[in-house]
Structure 1
Amino acid sequence: MTTYLPDGYEISADSARIDAARVHHWLSTDAYWAMHRPREKQDKAMEGSLNFGVYDVGSGEQVGYARVVTDHATFGWLCDVYVDRKVRGKGLGKALAAAVRDHMGPMGVRRILLATKDAHAVYAEVGFEPLPGPDQWMVFYFDQSLRPRPR
C-alpha cells in the first residue's frame, strides 16, 4: 500500500481485521489524547470511521492503528494513530500516515487534518504541513477540561 512500509509488515483498511480490544487497550492506557476512553466510546468511534491496521505478516498480529473521520468525498481527520511500543522505530508510523494519504487521495478529498503534540516530523515526512491560517479555524469544547489553560 505504501513505499515506506518495512518488510514483514502490511497495512489494511479492512475494518473486519481490526483487533478492537487491543486498539482500546493501547489508546486508553498509553495515548495522551485518549487516556481512560471507555471501550463503548472507542467502539462507536471506530464504527463511524475509516480504520487502518498495521500487521506483522508472519504472525498476523496487529501492531498499529489509525482511523480517519471522513465523508469519503471532501474531508478527513486523521486521528488515533498508534504504533505498539514493541515495534516503534521501524518507520511504521510514517508508513501508516502515508497509507492513509494514499488511500484518501483517489476519493477526491481536499484535505486531511490531524493534531499532534509530538510527531510533527513523522507526518511532515509524508507531506503534512502546519495548518495555514489557523485563525480561520474554531473549536467548541463540550468537555471544558480539554480547553487549553491560559499561560
Structure 2
Amino acid sequence: MSEKSFFVTTDKSKFNLEIIHTFLKNSYWAKDISFDIVKSSIQNSYCFGAFLNDNQIGFARVITDYNSLAYLLDVFIINEFQNKGFGRQLLDSVFNDQKLSKIKKWMLATNDAHALYKQYGFYILDNSSNKYMIRERS
C-alpha cells in the first residue's frame, strides 16, 4: 500500500455519490436506500471519503453537534479493499479530526465490526443485542 496514493478528505465535492449509494443500498443497514436520501444525508452530515489513487474506496458519516455527542454511521470500505488497513486509516481520520475534538460521547450501531470499533474504545451497551456501541471520553 502506497501512503501517497491513499487519502481521506471531508471535501464533499470529491465524493462519488454513485459509489456511496451503490454500497449503501446493498448494505444490511441501509438496504434499498434511495439516491436522494443518500445525497441529502451527506449534505446534512459531516462526512469523510477514503480514496486510493483518486478513486473513492470508502466513506464514513457523522451526525453531531460538534460539542458533546456524535453518531457514527454509514462506515464502509468497498469489499475488494477491505482487510488492507484502509478502514483503520479512515477511522483514524474521523477520530483525529479537529472539528470533532470536543466530542465526549460517540455512538454507533453495527452487527459485524465490534472488534474494529473496540480498538477505538467503543463498548457494547447492555441489552442492545450486541448492536449498539458507545465510546466515552472524560
Shorter-chain TM band: 0.7 to 0.9
Uncovered stretches (5+) of structure 2, i.e. residues with no partner: 129-138
Contact 2:66/2:100, CA 8 A, preserved across alignment? no
SS in 1 for 2:97: helix
Bigger Rg, structure 1 or 2: 1
Call closer, same or farther: CA 1:68–1:133 in 2, change over 3 Å: same
Question: For residues 27 and 106 of structure 1, what CA distance do their matches in structure 2 show?
Answer: 24
Residue aligning to 1:70: 64
What displacement does 1:97 show?
1.8
Contact 1:24/1:42, CA 8 A, preserved across alignment? yes
Deviations 1:95-134 (A, max 9, x none): 2222211116754111111111010011112222223696
Matches within 5 A, 1:26-105: 26-29=23-26, 31-56=27-52, 59-103=53-97
Question: For residues 121 and 23 of structure 2, what CA distance do their matches in structure 1 show?
Answer: 26
Call closer, same or farther: CA 1:105–1:41 in 2, change over 3 Å: closer
Question: For residues 19 and 33 of structure 1, what CA distance do their matches in structure 2 show?
Answer: 20
Call closer, same or farther: CA 1:43–1:105 in 2, change over 3 Å: closer
Percent of aligned pairs with the same amino acid: 28
Could you list the runs of 4 or more consecutive aligned residues of structure 1 that deviate by over 4 angstroms after TM superposition?
none
Question: For residues 21 and 122 of structure 1, what CA distance do their matches in structure 2 show?
Answer: 26
Aligned-residue Cα RMSD (Å) equals: 2.1
Question: Which structure features the higher share of strand residues?
Answer: 2
Contact 1:65/1:83, CA 8 A, preserved across alignment? yes
Aligned pairs, number: 127
* Residues 1:13 and 2:31 are matched in the alignment: no
TM-score (norm 2): 0.82
Uncovered stretches (5+) of structure 1, i.e. residues with no partner: 135-151
